[in-house]
């Protein structure tokens, strides 16, 4: 498993604004969208490409195109929806599937309640969108779900990670899966309720206005 924590002043600036308790949902959504686009640039660094012959106004040349099958972008409902536009801005030809997963706050177990994905993901590059990698259980379930359908190259894009969640992810994911985690920051720890510290609160609530 590879972990890439972006070290960039614009990422740090936008993430700081996201963390502020007084940042309202409208601004939170805008900042999250911009931040995900920056993350997507690094997350797609190894997207599958192939050479293609084209004609410029001056001459012929060999360029680059995305290969088939198209990449699959998978936001985890509901908070992952707030990351979708930022990701597809760089991958407009990608297909989009959805996974609905919910974590029991007491047992921390994850159950799947919605699935809008192809049954066969063989040879597909998948980009999983979930703002927070806290305990890691949701992303573990998501990655396993995709792997069972044939995906082997999976990139998880997150705004924040907890070190405990990264450790759990690495310990429990099949080493045969080519897994990358791209994040804006790895925070200090989880608190007793399973929230990331210092974190930014509940990303879903802040994205969709529940706390306003």
Could you tell me the pLDDT band of residue 112, with boundaries at 50, 70 and 90?
Answer: confident
Q: Write down the pLDDT at residue 27.
A: 93
Worst-scoring range by mean pLDDT, 66-70, 111-115, 120-124?
111-115
Six-digit token string for 122: 């063989």
Of the candidates 43, 84, 18, the residue with the CA atom closest to the CA atom of residue 181: 43
In this structure, is the dihedral angle defined by the CA atoms of residues 196, 32, 30 and 81, taken in order, positive or negative?
A: negative
Could you tell me the pLDDT band of residue 30, with boundaries at 50, 70 and 90?
Answer: very high
User: Would the pLDDT of 194 be above 90?
Assistant: no
Six-digit token string for 188: 């200090």
Neighbours of 210 (CB within 10 A): 10
Residue range 55-83: average pLDDT? Answer: 92
Q: Write down the pLDDT at residue 106.
A: 67
Cβ 66 vs Cβ 48: under 8 Å: yes
Q: Which residues contact 180 (CB under 8 A, 6 or more apart)?
A: 1, 2, 3, 4, 43, 46, 154, 155, 156
Question: Between β-strands 132-133 and 153-161, what pairing exists: parallel, antiparallel or unpaired?
Answer: parallel
DSSP classification of residue 80? G
Q: Quick check: bond before 146 cis, omega within 30?
A: no
| Angle between helix 137-148 and helix 163-172 axes, rounded to 10 deg | 30
Q: Write down the pLDDT at residue 212.
A: 46
Whole-prediction pTM? 0.90
């Amino acid at each position: 498993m590879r972990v890439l924590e972006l070290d960039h002043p614009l990422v740090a600036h936008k993430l700081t604004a996201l963390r502020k308790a007084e940042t309202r949902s409208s601004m939170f959504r805008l900042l999250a969208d911009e931040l995900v686009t920056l993350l997507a640039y690094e997350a797609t660094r190894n997207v599958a490409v192939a050479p293609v012959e084209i004609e410029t106004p001056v001459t012929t040349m060999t360029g680059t195109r995305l290969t088939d099958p198209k990449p699959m972008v998978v936001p985890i409902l509901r908070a992952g929806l707030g990351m979708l536009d930022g990701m597809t801005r760089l991958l407009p030809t990608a297909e989009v599937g959805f996974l609905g997963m919910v974590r029991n706050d007491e047992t921390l177990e994850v159950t799947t309640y919605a699935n809008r994905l192809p049954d066969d993901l063989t040879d597909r590059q998948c980009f999983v969108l979930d703002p927070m990698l806290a305990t890691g259980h949701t992303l573990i379930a998501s990655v396993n779900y995709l792997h069972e359908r044939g995906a082997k190259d999976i990139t998880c894009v997150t705004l924040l990670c907890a070190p405990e969640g990264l450790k759990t992810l690495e310990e429990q994911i099949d080493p045969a899966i080519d897994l990358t985690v791209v994040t804006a920051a790895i925070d200090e720890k989880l608190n007793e309720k399973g929230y990331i510290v210092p974190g930014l609160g509940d990303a879903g609530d802040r994205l969709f206005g529940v706390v306003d």
